[in-house]
Structure 1
Amino acid sequence: MSDEEFDLLDELYFVQSYSYLKDTLGWEEHLILKTLTQLYSKSYIKCLTEPDQERFDQVDISKEGTSLYFLATKKGLMAHNAL
């Protein structure tokens, strides 16, 4: 797990919006979207359209990520806590 993945996952113990991540981490948009995509591909996070509405289809984070919410999965939390 990269430092960026670890830091981003650290913010996703609770549902967070893209704008929250951008404000909190202070990263450029491309870095946030790239890191979210990496975490999503490992099944470490799930995507939501609203804080309580999970997406079950395949999500293209590079196209839709700025309008979504994110949450760490159990697999992601276990990987995060193993480090």
Structure 2
Amino acid sequence: MSDEEFDLLDELYFVQHYAYLKGVLGWEDDKLLANLHALYAKDFIKCLRQPDQEIFEKVDLRQEGAQLFYLATKKGLMEHNAL
């Protein structure tokens, strides 16, 4: 896990919207979307349309990533805490 992925995952212990992540981390869209994609590909995060509406089908983060909410998965939290 890269330092950037670690920092992003650190913000996802609770459901957070893309705009919040962008603001708190201060990253450009490309950097944020790339790191979200990396964590999503590893099953370390899940995507939600609303804070209580998980998306179960595959998500194209480049297309709709800025409209979504995110949350660390159990697998992601275990990996984050192991470092």
Aligned equivalents of 1:29, 1:21: Cα separation in 2:
10
1:45 aligned residue: 45
Deviation at 1:78, TM superposition (A): 0.2
Identical-pair percentage: 66
Deviation at 1:79, TM superposition (A): 0.3
TM-score by length of 1: 0.99
Q: How many residues align?
A: 83
2:27 aligned residue: 27
Q: Which runs of 5+ in 1 are unaligned?
A: none
Structure 1 moving runs of 4+ over 3 Å: none
Root-mean-square deviation over aligned CA pairs: 0.3
Residues 70-81 of structure 1 correspond to what in structure 2 (within 5 A)?
70-81=70-81
Deviation at 1:61, TM superposition (A): 0.6
Structure 1 residue 58 corresponds to structure 2 residue 58: yes
Aligned equivalents of 1:39, 1:60: Cα separation in 2:
13
TM-score by length of 2: 0.99
Deviation at 1:34, TM superposition (A): 0.2
Letter in 1 for 2:79: A
Q: Which runs of 5+ in 2 are unaligned?
A: none
